Amino acid sequence: VEAECLRSFSFNYYTNKMNKGSLARFVLQGIEGQDAKKGMERIAKEIKEDLIRENIDVENLCVCLPAGTGTSAFYLRQFLECPVVCTPCISNKAYLLQQFNSFSSKGEFFPLILESKKNYSFGKLYIDFFELYKQMKTKVNIEFDLLYDMKMLTALKENLHELPKTILYLHCGGQEGNASMLARYQRKFS
pLDDT tens per residue, range 4-25? 566 667 667 766 666 555 555 5
Pairing of strands 166-169, 84-88: unpaired
95 vs 32, residue with greater confidence: 95
Alpha helix positions (H), the chain: 2-17, 34-53, 71-79, 93-103, 127-139, 149-158, 178-189
Q: Give the per-residue pLDDT at 21.
A: 57
Better-predicted residue by pLDDT, 103 or 49: 49
Task: Show the beta-strand stretches assigned E in the chain.
Answer: 61-67, 84-88, 112-113, 166-169
Which pLDDT score is estimated for 55? 94
Q: Is the pLDDT of residue 180 over 60?
A: yes
In this predicted structure, the answer to whether residue 147 has a pLDDT above a threshold of 80 is yes
Q: What is the mean pLDDT of residues 159-182?
A: 90
Report the SS3 class of residue 36. helix
Provide the pLDDT for residue 29: 53
- Select from 84, 71, 108, 89 the least CA-distant residue to 155: 89
| The pLDDT value given to residue 73 | 94
Task: Read off the pTM.
Answer: 0.81
- The stretch 125-152 carries a mean pLDDT of 94
- CB 137 within 8 Å of CB 111: no
